[in-house]
Structure 1
Amino acid sequence: MSRFQLLNDDQWNLISGSLPGPTGRQGRPYADARTMVEGIIYRYRCGIAWRDLPAAFGPWQTVWRWHRRMAADGTWDALLGQLMAEADAAGMVDWSISVDSTIARAHQHATNVTRLKKGTSNYKNLLTEPLDHAVGRSRGGLSTKIHQLVDGNGLPLVTVCTAGQDGDSPMLLPLLEILRVERTGPGRPRTRPDAVRGDKAYSSRAIRAHLRERSIEAVIPEPRDQIGHRKRRGSQGGRPPKLDAENYRGRNVIERRFCHVKQWRGIATRYDKLSLTYRAAVLLHAVIAWTQHLRDMP
């Protein structure tokens, strides 16, 4: 396989039908979709500037335009949803999901845009650019936070990008609201996991009450301050929340997923000015992970 090619033929066949293609109209020859996708992957794997793309991928402007358009029209979201539906139909989705976030430092090239004002994304429409471009100032400086839900195998189900200073706990309910895996046959999409694994940052009354109402097992340890507060209240503090320690061990799959994601230097450090294009790169990485999983399907 060429050093400029990451996807093998089996993986490409899984996604090629959902990508743009020639329309039959006259005009300039249509760019080869596989070359464009490989060019996008190469750019984020290496963390180079778009202008430095090797000539093997054609004009860098064309590759950039493909990525920008597919990020804005939801192509990667739709393709990821299609792969998840196929995997779920084959029984390959483990519905004991894990939640966490990771920080990516924003390069100066990603921060030289005018941030209109502080604001968060409209999580019901992730194809709109947030007012703050998902860039905020945390302890490490200007940064972006990637929040994900992954299944029990560590494969991404939901991806959201926010400013670096945003907390983890407030994002769990929006992530669960976005979670939606379509059926390949008749039936409503699945939106309710069997269990949610999270670290102590996700321990709150609101989260536990929400999971309880939906009959979702909360595999979330109680932090020390909450334990002390509950004990000081005596009998009014209630019973300690149940924790399946054996199940909680499976939470490490999301840590391993972030290790894989940050192998792409263009994701480990954010160079993109727009949150839309940066999130699309994370989605593309998720698409590749699902194609590898489906390729290994017996």
Structure 2
Amino acid sequence: MLNTKVHLAVNAHGIPVRIIITDGTTADCTQAWQLISDIAAEYLLADKGYDSDAIVAQAQSQGQGMTVVIPSRKNRKVHKSYDKDLYKLRHLVKNAFLHLKRWRGTASRYAKNVRSFLAAVQIRCIALWANIS
């Protein structure tokens, strides 16, 4: 069994548009720049794990101009405001993970190596794009 972590960027319909597989101990916020680079989006919805000034700056610059909807972490001295109603749409990301976990092989990480696991995740994402459940 692999010790891996899947990072996903999804579109407004909850369909994965970018997948990154990392070691299981890798922090989420270290992969954010790869997930959002070169993606044209109006909003960046993410959980507290992605609350960092660098991520916010990247999302708002580089011609991306995303509106950041990330709640502040508890330890932040100045808490930022965010659109709570828009943040509720983040369930689409969780739903994408649930669709991936519906396949037993990806949920249990039966793959012997990272390439095989990534291929299994990509195949499931293709099925989501083709609307095959």
In 2, Cα distance between the equivalents of 1:200 and 1:176? 16
- The question of 1:200 aligning with 2:59 is answered no
In 2, Cα distance between the equivalents of 1:174 and 1:289? 22
**Structure 1 runs not aligned, ≥5 long:** 1-106, 108-134, 136-142, 180-190, 231-239, 294-298
2:20 to 155, 160, 166: 160
In 2, Cα distance between the equivalents of 1:208 and 1:256? 24
CA contact under 8 A between 2:36 and 2:59: conserved in structure 1?
Answer: no
Number of residue pairs matched by the alignment: 130
In 1, Cα distance between the equivalents of 2:130 and 2:10? 15
Cα deviation code 1:65-98 (max 9, x no counterpart): xxxxxxxxxxxxxxxxxxxxxxxxxxxxxxxxxx
Mapping 1:161-176, distance limit 5 Å: 161-176=21-36
**2:58 corresponding residue in structure 1:** 210
Q: Percent identity?
A: 28
The RMSD of aligned alpha carbons is 1.5
1:280 to 119, 124, 130: 119
Letter in 2 for 1:254: V
Mapping 1:119-138, distance limit 5 Å: 135=2
**Superposed displacement of residue 283, structure 1:** 0.7
In 1, Cα distance between the equivalents of 2:83 and 2:66? 13
Q: Which has the larger radius of gyration?
A: 1
**Superposed displacement of residue 269, structure 1:** 1.2
Mapping 1:80-91, distance limit 5 Å: none
In 2, Cα distance between the equivalents of 1:264 and 1:212? 36
**Superposed displacement of residue 242, structure 1:** 3.3
- For 1:159, what is the secondary structure of its paired residue? strand
- For 1:211, what is the secondary structure of its paired residue? helix
Q: Which runs of 4+ in 1 moved over 6 A?
A: none
TM-score using structure 1 length: 0.42
1:253 to 72, 92, 103: 92
In 2, Cα distance between the equivalents of 1:276 and 1:194? 32
In 1, Cα distance between the equivalents of 2:14 and 2:59? 21
**2:108 corresponding residue in structure 1:** 269
**Superposed displacement of residue 166, structure 1:** 0.4
